[in-house]
Amino acid sequence: MKFKRSHREELQINITPLIDVVFLLLIFFMVTTTFSKETRLLVNLPEANAEAAEAEVSQIEIVVSREGTYSINGRALVNSRLETLVQGLEIESGGDHTLPILLIADAEATHQSVVTAMDGIGQSGFTRLNIATQRPQELEAGASDPTSPL
């Protein structure tokens, strides 16, 4: 016996399960995604083109060199260790922690050496810290010559 189809059936693809899977994947990725917000620290740096401030008579000046060595009031420390810096500050201040500290760092000094100096100042008990910048040599030379362009 042969069965004949009187009309031709159209083939249809059911996409409902496909849409369900896509929605499940979308929900899965939305739930498992972590959103990270980057935090930024705004730092106001001192400007090097400002007029030179008058140095206070009774202050301690710490200079951080390019190599990361320290000097207190013009006297170089024997090493760059934090303990040496703290001891030098105690000797130079004579125990007076109300004296202001002027921290001058070379432009090529590492951040670590400057942070170490700040840490030593804080550990010594000083609360008045000023950070100074120096003018670049080219600007200072140009400022003394009135014919040179700025």
Is pLDDT above 90 for 19?
A: yes
CATH number of the domain enclosing 72: 3.30.420.270
Within-domain flag for 10 = no
Q: Are strands 101-105 and 60-64 parallel, antiparallel or unpaired?
A: parallel
Within-domain flag for 34 = no
Within-domain flag for 112 = yes
Within-domain flag for 83 = yes
**Averaged pLDDT for residues 24-38:** 84
Counting beta carbons within 10 angstroms of the beta carbon of residue 85, is it exposed (0 to 12), middle (13 to 18) or buried (19 or more)? buried
Contact by Cβ (8 Å): 100, 56: yes
**Which domain does 127 fall in, by range?**
60-139
Q: What pLDDT is recorded for position 147? A: 47
Within-domain flag for 129 = yes
CA-to-CA distance for 141 and 54, rounded, in angstroms?
21
Looking at the chain, the number of H-run helices and the number of E-run strands are 4, 5
The total number of structural domains in the chain stands at 1
Exposure string of 105-130, with b = 16+ CB inside 10 Å and e = fewer, is bbeebeeebbebbbebbeebebeeee
Within-domain flag for 6 = no
With cut-offs at 50, 70 and 90, classify the pLDDT of residue 143.
very low
Within-domain flag for 88 = yes
Within-domain flag for 148 = no
CA-to-CA distance for 80 and 97, rounded, in angstroms?
22
Q: What pLDDT is recorded for position 139? A: 44
Unique residue bearing structure tokens 């935090």:
39
Contact by Cβ (8 Å): 109, 64: yes
How confident is the model over 71-115, as pLDDT tens digits?
998 888 888 888 888 898 888 888 888 888 888 888 888 888 888
